[in-house]
Amino acid sequence: MYTDIHFDTIDISRGAPDKEPERQYYFIAKCRQYTQQFFREMGRFPTATVQTFGCQMNARDSEKLTGILKAIGYREEEQEELADFVIFNTCTVRENANQKVYGRLGQIGKIKKSRPHMLIGLCGCMMQEAEEVEKIQKSYRQVDLIFGTHNIFQFAELLYRRLTSRRLVTEVWDGTDQIVEELPAERKYPFKSGVNIMFGCNNFCSYCIVPYVRGRERSREPQDILNEIRQLVSDGVVEIMLLGQNVNSYGKTLDQPMTFAKLLQEIEQIEGLKRIRFMTSHPKDLSEELIDVMAHSHKICRHLHLPIQSGSTRILEKMNRRYTKEQYLSLVSRLKEAIPELSLTTDIIVGFPGETEEDFQETLDVIRKVRYDSAFTFIYSRRTGTPAANMEEQIPQDMIKDRFQRLLTEVQTISSESCCIHEGSTQEVLVESIDSHEEGYVTGRMDNNLLVHFPGIPSMIGTFVRVYLKKCKGFYYIGELVK
Ligand code: SAH
Ligand code: SF4
Ligand code: F3S
């Protein structure tokens, strides 16, 4: 376990070991010399921040980067303009994700001019695109370090290279079949954590860049997952979120194949673990076995994120989603029947090439039939290199905007109604934070993923309490503690 490693006892006078993760432990130890020297010169340790864009996968990767930074001797500084080392963990799923990164990079570049010792690092999905890396190398000279999603585990080694060469270090791999276990990670919350169960994606939905930037699907060994969760639980974690682009196809590529449902059953056995969540589920791979396991579980939360993307079978086919509207609706009714209190959420794209008003009406029809608790709605973004980018019939922006507005209104009306059905009930919630809007209040998360704000004290954070849901406010509740 990396928690047993004492980095200062590693012999760094010799060459670096070839084997991972020992190689990275060695470079962590090497980098520690730098932070210790910084301390001697400046009277303080250097500070760092990892700024995350994109999904839960990136959020978990950022925790790993933060863990390595901490092991190296950096202290955390949340405000990026004050940090000695700023890392942007980027996303490229839609064009506006890229624009956000460039905006922030421009701002921090200006700050660096007056603080030349500052380091700027870039990693994540955007760095897997050669044209973005080229653009950064050419126009954003302030950047010190660039690496990708496949070699994120090399962070300490690449940082060491930058510290000793004082020139931009760029290392991005096209792909990997390696999964490096046992590196440090620093959790954002002491009581809950994401756990990767697989990496990459093999689905190639025709609009989506993820398979190109995250590579082929690879599942972690069940024993590694179980050990990590046991370790987290012994460290105070009560809720885990299993992460993968398509968790329902977990285990298919293992030497000894295993289903996701079976993995869940094994995780359920872990004593001290209270709640299990997972995302994302692809409808085409959601098995009857999983429905059964969810229905009988005491720990799996009654919440399922089940992206539909479009309600039109014709568009779904062009999206390469490999299910029809009818198959999706039938899956939803089987789920609702087996797990009556199940909360469903989804992702929807509007304006996919060739989408007609009739196709759009099909999407609205699904929303009305399923009655999601919430839906993430996206305007289709053309991603270079994906099949959809070359499809004819790209939809004009004003038409997309009009559909998007209508979609939003429909989604919001329905979800505020369906969220409110729990008003007047008492629920067990995990207290997550102090409420940032109301003094003397805390915020808790219910099993179904909805939030409730209620009068409470900071020491409740990380514990389960029972809360009476007094008033529904559309997407959240105001409640009171039940003694
Ligand atoms: N693996 C997950 C989704 C990952 S991306 C799944 O299959 O559900 C998260 C969401 O971003 C997707 O569900 C989709 O709705 C949206 N998305 C992906 N590519 C997009 C694009 N090119 N334009 C707009 N939205 C997109
Ligand atoms: Fe993208 Fe589809 Fe893979 Fe999800 S399943 S990451 S939408 S290709
Ligand atoms: Fe974005 Fe990469 Fe996630 S592209 S959505 S951060 S997998």
| pLDDT tens track for 193-231 | 999 999 999 999 999 999 999 999 999 999 999 999 999
CA of 122 relative to ligand 3 center, distance in Å: 14
Which of 57, 199, 205, 252 gets mutated to test ligand 2 (max ligand atoms within 8 A of its CB)? 205
Packing angle between helix 288-296 and helix 325-338, nearest 10 degrees? 30
pLDDT in tens, 1-40: 677 789 999 999 999 999 999 999 999 999 999 999 999 9
pLDDT in tens, 280-290: 999 999 999 99
Work out the burial of residue 169: count CB atoms within 10 Å of its CB; fewer than 13 is exposed, 13-18 middle, 19 or more buried.
Answer: buried
Mean pLDDT of 375-392: 96
The reply to whether ligand 1 has any atom less than 6 angstroms from the CB of 206 is: no
Mean pLDDT of 292-304: 97
Kindly report the backbone phi and psi dihedral angles of residue 97, in degrees, each rounded to the nearest multiple of 5, phi listed first.
-65, -45
Looking at per-residue pLDDT, the higher value among 166 and 355 belongs to: 355
Contact 434, 444 (CB under 8 A): no
* Nearest atom within ligand 1 for CA of residue 207: 22
**Peptide bond connecting 387 to the previous residue in cis, omega within 30 degrees of 0:** no
State whether residue 170 is helix, strand or coil: strand
State whether residue 260 is helix, strand or coil: helix
pLDDT exceeding 70 applies to what percent of the chain?
Answer: 100
pLDDT of residue 3: 72
Cα separation of the two ends of the chain:
41
Mean pLDDT of 247-256: 95
**Residue 74 clears pLDDT 80, i.e. is over it:** yes
**Residue 235 clears pLDDT 70, i.e. is over it:** yes
Q: What angle do CA 404, 408, 414 make, to 5 degrees?
A: 145
Contact 248, 240 (CB under 8 A): no
pLDDT of residue 1: 64
**DSSP-assigned letters across all residues of 323-351:** --HHHHHHHHHHHHHHSTT-EEEEEEEE-
Residue written as token pair 């009476």: 468
- What does the CA dihedral 20, 26, 27, 29 come to, rounded to 10 degrees? 140
Mean pLDDT of 377-387: 96
pTM of the model: 0.95
Which of 92, 203, 252, 309 gets mutated to test ligand 2 (max ligand atoms within 8 A of its CB)? 203
Can you say how many angstroms the Cα of residue 419 is from the centroid of all Cα atoms in its chain? Answer: 24
The reply to whether ligand 1 has any atom less than 6 angstroms from the CB of 53 is: no
Output the ligand 3 site: residues, CB below 6 A: 54-55, 57-58, 91-93, 125, 210, 213-214
pLDDT in tens, 128-150: 999 999 999 999 999 999 999 99
* Pairing mode, strands 343-350 and 303-305: parallel
